Amino acid sequence: MTPRFSIFARAALTLSAAASLLGCEPQFNDQVCEIDQDCFPDEACQAGVCVLRTELPDVGPDADLNACGGIQVLENDPGDPCGPCNLDQYQCEGAELVCSGETPCPETDVITTTPTAITADGAQLNGELAELPVEGISELGFCWSATEESPTLDNADCMAIETALSAPGEFSLSVEGLNPGTSYNVSTYFIDGDADSGYGNTLAFITLAPSPANVTATVDGDVITLSWDEAAGIVEYEVLRDGTSIAVVSETTYADEDAPAGTLSGYEDLAATQGTETGGVRLTWSAATGSAGDELSYEIIASYPDADSDPSDAVTAQLPAPTPTSYEVQIDDGTWIDVGLVTDYLDEDAPEGTITAGTTEVSAGDFADRVELSISGSTTADGQPRQYRVRALADANAGAPSPQVSGFRGTEDLTYQWQRTSSDQDQEGDYQDISGATSATYSDFDAPATGETRFYRVVLSAPGAPSVTTPGQAGYRAFGAQVTLVDITGVGISAATINANVTGLGDPAATEHGICISTQAGVEYPAAGATDCTLRGAPTATGTFTETFSDLDPATTYFVRAFIVNATGTSYSGELSFTTDPAIPTPPTNLTASTNDTDLVALSWSAVAGADGYRVYRDGTEIAEVTDGSQTTFDDTTATEGTLGAPSGLTASSTNAAQVDLSWSAASASAGTSASYTVRAFNVSGESSDSNAATGSRAAPEITGYEIFRNGASLDSVGVVTSYADASADAGTPGAPSGLTASSTNAAQVDLSWSAATGNAGTTYSYTVRALSDVGPSAESNEATGSRAAPAVTGYEIFRDGASLDSVGDVTSYADTSAAPGTIDAVADLSASNSNPDQVDLSWTPPATSAGTAYNYTVRALTNDGSSDASNEATGSRAAPTITGYDIFDASDDSQIGSSASAGSTAIPANAPTYTFDPIDGTYDAVNNDMALTITNGTPVDGAPITVYVIARGESGIDASASADATGFRPATSLSFTWERASLAADPVVWETFGAANAASVTDADVDASKLTYRVRVDIGTTVTVEVPEETLTIP
């Protein structure tokens, strides 16, 4: 249903159009309708028009209402014609049926009545001839125009009806090619017998306005694009979304960029860490989900020059659920920050926590061996909180912000790093970290032993807060004596020398110094337990001193430290260690040597304690050193190899066409030279004496196969066999066939013949063989020569024009029946007569014949291994065929109706001619006593024509194609008339001629009143006779 109001005021236009058709003024207070919902609330839809409910009759709910909603019986229906000349229409006015007007009758001979069957591009124009002009009517029709108010033959489209009326009456004309939704004025016209024209009244009508067709909706991103078919005559289109106009366009597409988009949700559970992260404040949220936009209904209304269409069929579309492409975070109501397609974010710029340093203490001369460092009262605090929101993005579209949450950066436990200057000045660039000084208290044993002042400070750090450094404080230790270890020399199996250096005598001066040694780490003075100390008394000056320790245990690790004593206490050097050498090892035992391995001699012995490795001797000469003391085996791969003899007696065949057969005698093998082996153990202290001796050798090589050589190149390898078939040797070749001939005298085939082929042996080769083993190959055998024998011919292959035609056995002739046959031309001059009443005569001349295609033939000999070269080439063909006769066919059904042994002429059966007639008629002349006789309507009739064709037949089944058709017939010519008369009263009846002419009309010049019965025999040619029945005439 068209909307109640539109950009073109559709309702008013529709009523105006209706009023124009009815011949009355439009009633704008009425609204066309289909159901009550198309009207205002106080109206009802009656007979297609909205009517005030107060004007409706007060009837019961079960009353049978008429077309206007009343209960009275109507004599007419809405839309029936009315008025003086039926130029108006009945219409409902409330519940009453009234005429729409009193349009006067036109003062013309023709009247234009309401058009009917109106479509988008056509209508049936209707008129009435009220009075036939005195001059008559030569043309009657209609003129119509969309621009002219009074269409005429001069300014409008006009068309006459097919046949002008010859008496008053109605007439109509169907016209097409009108523009849709357009108002037209139409008028009847006539042209009278004097060529004068006249016009009837003018009416207006509007063609239908078709709705747009094939409306589609396509979704692309956040745009819904509509498209529809273009229609002729459209001014513009109105786009409706959910029944509401959203655009007016002139194209057949529209992109709805304002369609409601889908929504994003699901990330409202934003959470922020509460001091659990030191790198910042971590935000987490759930992934957003998208919901599709509302489903929308679209319709298109087409606007034509004078009318709007109904809305098109509705199509639906909706924007898809958006897919999140990233997220944005807002901090303290500031700018939104794009953080990407993630569900967590670390705010690394969140305010850091703080550190309060506390109080530091540094000892100054309180300890001789260290400076004591400590700090107390240090604390940390978390960072200041921040406020956060998050929202999802789908490309450039943002979802609603999440609720705001608060979070703050945390701090963790304090860590400490003490620093010390390298000089006695408190300078920023001079501080260095003290290795291992990472606690609140620390003893600096590496402070200058001479008591020099150093400045100390501590750097306090905690994850989540910036570091804090305390001010520098001076510290130093008491001045004690100093000693260092220089090195350890002369380490042997049971002794070692320790070298030390007194670097400071201390103040007060040292009273004792020396060196302590122990098998346990952490050596201290004075000696106790496993520790032994040498005492050298008070040193008199700084400098080096040496102590040698004897009676040490072999292969034992010892720890040493130098010491010096003064009033501040005992000072130590750093601690060093060394290990005494082990004892010389004992000889190895249980040495064995193998004799069963072709690649090596395998040695094995028992392990020796304390050995760092072993030395292997063969026949008294060292051949290897094993540096792994745990290894008790050795493989001597340099021992003398076994020997391998060459194969002998090699022969090669030359009698086998399929291969060259080789055979030989097997090779022989022997073991390698035997040797005597010994082994000695060694370590850093020396080498043992010899082990027991063991004899060993490499085994004789094992023959694993043979390698065949052809003309010096390796051909193949085989297993442990003494024969070989060389099937890859060049095969012998067959000789080419010779003396090939090909015939051209036989129409049925091409006859080939040739001389048999002879063969040639294959290439002669030189062969040798050598044995293969696990230690390598032997020398080559004696040389033997051989070849493949010439192959036997098994048949022949025939080629025609280079392509294989056929293969035959061991024969020397062949008949090519598949060669193209010769040809016979179609009969070209067939003629059929139409002049002989007795028969149809055919004539033709013999057609030409041609030989078959000429081919070039060759032949190749075949063997089991291939084919020979081609023979000589011979050219042959099938001979031109001899014509053996001709067959004649009826072209109407292709049936054979005759044949002829030769060309020339022949006769064929055909339909005979005939003679048709009515009874004999006669006129008597009493004056001359003669009777004029004639065969009434005597007519000669030719025989029915026959159409034939001829096919020439040839030998070997070779036939020509059909000739062209020839048509002939037997004519009704050479007519001969024989007239006779008789008396039928006589017994017997005797017929006599009476000298009548040879014609269809004759005169009986001497009438015999007793013989008034006449008959005629009509002869056509020599074979057809037609009897004209007797007829008895009378004399008046």
123 and 80 share a domain? no
Show the tokens assigned to 14: 């529709």
- Preceding omega of 466 cis (within 30 degrees of 0): no
Nearest-angstrom CA–CA distance, 126 and 141: 9
Res 892 pLDDT > 60: yes
If you average pLDDT over residues 676-687, what whole number do you get?
A: 93
Report yes or no: 1020 and 837 within 8 Å, Cβ to Cβ.
Answer: yes
Establish if 197 belongs to a structural domain: yes
Give the separation between CA 335 and CA 389, rounded to whole angstroms: 11
Last residue of a domain, one of 46, 78, 103: 103
Q: Please, which residues have CB within 8 angstroms of residue 447's CB and are 6 or more apart in sequence?
A: 370, 371, 420, 454, 475, 476, 477
CATH, residue 982: 2.60.40
**Angle of CA points 907, 909, 914, to nearest 5°:** 115
- Reported as a single tens digit per residue, the pLDDT across 817-868 is 999 999 999 999 999 999 999 999 999 999 999 999 999 999 999 988 788 8
User: Do strands 253-256 and 244-249 pair parallel, antiparallel, or not at all (unpaired)?
Assistant: unpaired
User: pLDDT at residue 16 above 50?
Assistant: no
Cβ atoms of residues 133 and 169 within 8 Å = no
What pLDDT is attached to residue 108? 56
State the Rg of the chain over Cα: 69
Is residue 83 domain-shared with residue 124, that is, in the same domain? no
| DSSP symbol at 474 | E
Residues 509 and 566 placed together within one structural domain of the fold: yes
Distance of CA 579 to the CA centre of its chain: 78
Structural domain containing residue 982? 914-947+969-1032
Residue 71 and residue 175 in one domain: no
- In the chain, the N- to C-terminal Cα span, in Å, equals 97
Last residue of a domain, one of 60, 75, 103: 103
User: How many beta carbons lie within 10 A of that of residue 927, not counting itself?
Assistant: 5
- What are the structure tokens assigned to 231, written together? 């229609």
* In the predicted structure, residue 704 carries a pLDDT above the cut 80: yes
How open is the CA angle 37-39-41, to the nearest 5 degrees?
Answer: 85
Tell me if the bond preceding 508 is cis, omega within 30° of 0. Answer: yes
Contact present, 1020 and 973 (Cβ < 8 Å): yes
Task: State whether 68 and 114 are in the same domain.
Answer: no
**pLDDT tens per residue across span 283-336:** 999 999 988 889 999 999 999 998 999 999 999 999 998 889 999 999 999 999
Question: Pairing state of beta strands 465-469 and 482-489?
Answer: unpaired
DSSP 1010-1034: T--EEEEEEEETTTEEEEEEEEE--
Query: What does the pLDDT look like over 258-278, one tens digit per residue?
Result: 999 888 888 889 999 999 999
The answer to whether residues 924 and 1023 belong to one domain is yes
The pLDDT, as a whole number, for residue 106 is: 53
Alpha carbons 205 and 189: distance in angstroms, whole number: 17
- Do 81 and 167 lie in a common domain? no
pLDDT-derived band at 97, boundaries 50, 70, 90: confident
Determine, yes or no, domain membership for 893: no
- Final residue before a domain boundary, out of 61, 84, 103: 103
Q: How confident is the model at residue 909 (pLDDT cuts 50, 70, 90)?
A: confident
What's the pLDDT at 953? 94
Instruction: From residue 595, give the alpha-carbon distance in Å to each of 182, 480, 530, 776, 793.
Output: 121, 75, 55, 19, 60
Q: What is the CATH number of the domain that holds 503?
A: 2.60.40.10
142 plus 178 within the same structural domain: yes
In a domain, 291, yes or no: no
Examine the domain organization and report whether 85 and 174 are in the same domain.
no
Residue 405 within any structural domain of the chain = no
Domain-embedded: residue 728: no
Assign 744 a pLDDT band (cuts: 50, 70, 90): very high
Q: Mark whether 169 and 89 lie in a shared domain.
A: no
Pairwise pLDDT comparison (98 vs 870), residue with the higher score: 870
Q: What is the 3-state secondary structure (H, E, C) of 845-912?
A: CCCCEECCCCEEEEEEEEECCEECCCCCCEEECCCCCCEEEEEEEECCCCEEEEEECCCEEEEECCCC
Higher pLDDT, 546 or 24: 546
pLDDT for residue 18 is more than 50: no
pLDDT band at 20 (very low <50, low <70, confident <90, very high): very low
Residue 764 has pLDDT above 90, yes or no: yes
Residues 535 and 502 in one domain: yes
pTM over 0.75: no
Average pLDDT of span 82-99: 77
**201 belongs to a structural domain:** yes
- Amino acid identity of residue 605, one-letter, is W
Please tell me the distance from the alpha carbon of residue 352 to that of residue 324, in angstroms, as a whole number.
32
Q: With the CA atoms of 710, 715, 718 and 720 taken in that order, what torsion angle do they form, in degrees rounded to the nearest 10?
A: 30
The whole-angstrom separation of Cα 171 and Cα 153 is 18
pLDDT in tens, 418-448: 999 999 999 999 999 999 999 999 999 999 9
Q: Residue 243 falls within a domain, yes or no?
A: no
With respect to residue 879, please indicate whether it lies within any of the assigned structural domains. Answer: no
Mean pLDDT within 522-545: 92
The count of structural domains within the chain is 4
Mean pLDDT over 329-347 rounds to: 95
1016 and 918 in a common domain: yes
